[in-house]
Amino acid sequence: MEDYDHEKVDEMVLALMYLTLHDDYRAWKSFDWDVLDRLYEKGLIFDPKNKAKSVSLTEEGVAKSADLFQRHFGASKTTLDKKTT
């Protein structure tokens, strides 16, 4: 399937990597290899082609991952207010 917005998919994958971050900069690499290759080419992760089950995010990748996760999945003030009532 090539008929989709690669930038949006790359953003979502990087945002979701934030959920599985461990050791400060490693995330599970159970995502599409083409997406991982693009994130590598953008300098957001280190080369994913190895035997490890996780991939290392660059410093920029960790920061962008956290930002994208908050932007796309962070709770809004309205959501937080509903939880406390």
**Residue 53 domain-assigned?**
no
Give me the number of domains the chain comprises: 1
What range does the domain containing 21 cover?
6-48+58-84
Query: Are the CB atoms for 11 and 73 separated by under 8 Å?
Result: no
15 part of a folded domain = yes
The residue among 28, 35, 24, 33 whose CA lies nearest residue 63 is: 24
Residue 75 confidence class, pLDDT cut points 50, 70, 90: confident
Question: Does residue 68 fall inside a structural domain?
Answer: yes
In the predicted structure, residue 1 carries a pLDDT above the cut 70: no
Q: Is residue 14 part of a domain?
A: yes
Residue 65 domain flag: yes
Over pLDDT 90: what percentage of the chain?
Answer: 80
- The pLDDT tens digits for 41-51 are 999 999 999 99
Q: What is the value of pTM for the model shown?
A: 0.84
